Structure 1
């Protein structure tokens, strides 16, 4: 049974402008482990990675029904690839069994999360 569904999309050119004006935005979004992966990527892949993670975290918060805020902060949510490269979700350092899909194009990054009961 589905408990929650979340979907979010990010405009990558807009995100690039935010990073240019406020470089610390990257650290507001990414956990330490995510940031290490981000640092290892080429600049254009960094933008896709950040956009995908931001969209995924927003989608997860929507699926929870809380949104980003007091009960669910950006650093509470972590998305790390498993051994096959598929993204998996951690919430408050606990691996979840929730489903996540992240995609991106030249202009957009999007994510969908499904939480089952």
Structure 2
């Protein structure tokens, strides 16, 4: 049974401007520890790839927050929701702390799709209830 559906489109240029204005603090606020390590590695090799990585994660977390119906209110926080790639390359969400407990108590499962082009990152999220 579908619990919720969320979608988000993110302007990569806005993410770039936020990084220019706030530096690493912006990424540190949005990304979980594993994502932050990946962002730093990608940014060091190719800064634009790091910007797009951050934009896709931002978009995915927004789509997920909409699908569960919380928006960005507790227990939903940027860093409690981590976007990872499975061995196949498929994006997935790993939850932490109170958000993980909240979703487990409701029997929720997440399906996620992310994409990016030069100026935009987009995500689509479907949350099912067992």
**TM-score, reference length from structure 1:** 0.94
> What displacement does 1:90 show?
1.1
Higher helix share: 2
**Cα distance per residue 1:32-51 (max 9 Å; x no partner):** 10011111212111111100
Question: 1: distance between equivalents of 2:110 and 2:48?
Answer: 28
Partner of 2:119: 107
Partner of 2:17: 17
Task: Kindly tell me the number of residue pairs found equivalent between the two proteins.
Answer: 117
Q: 5+ residue gaps in structure 2? A: none
Question: 2: distance between equivalents of 1:13 and 1:6?
Answer: 22
Partner of 2:82: 78
RMSD of aligned alpha carbons: 1.5
After TM superposition, the structure 1 stretch with the greater mean CA deviation from structure 2, 34-43 or 98-107, is 34-43
Question: 1: distance between equivalents of 2:94 and 2:110?
Answer: 9
User: Which consecutive aligned stretches of 4+ in structure 1 deviate over 6 angstroms post-superposition?
Assistant: none
Query: Which runs of structure 2 are paired with 1:17-56 in the superposition (5 Å)?
Result: 17-23=17-23, 24-41=25-42, 42-56=46-60
Question: 1: distance between equivalents of 2:59 and 2:73?
Answer: 15
Which structure's CA Rg is the greater one? 2
Query: Which runs of structure 2 are paired with 1:56-95 in the superposition (5 Å)?
Result: 56-92=60-96
> What displacement does 1:70 show?
2.2
> What displacement does 1:97 show?
3.4
Q: 5+ residue gaps in structure 1? A: none
Question: 1: distance between equivalents of 2:33 and 2:96?
Answer: 13
**TM-score, reference length from structure 2:** 0.85
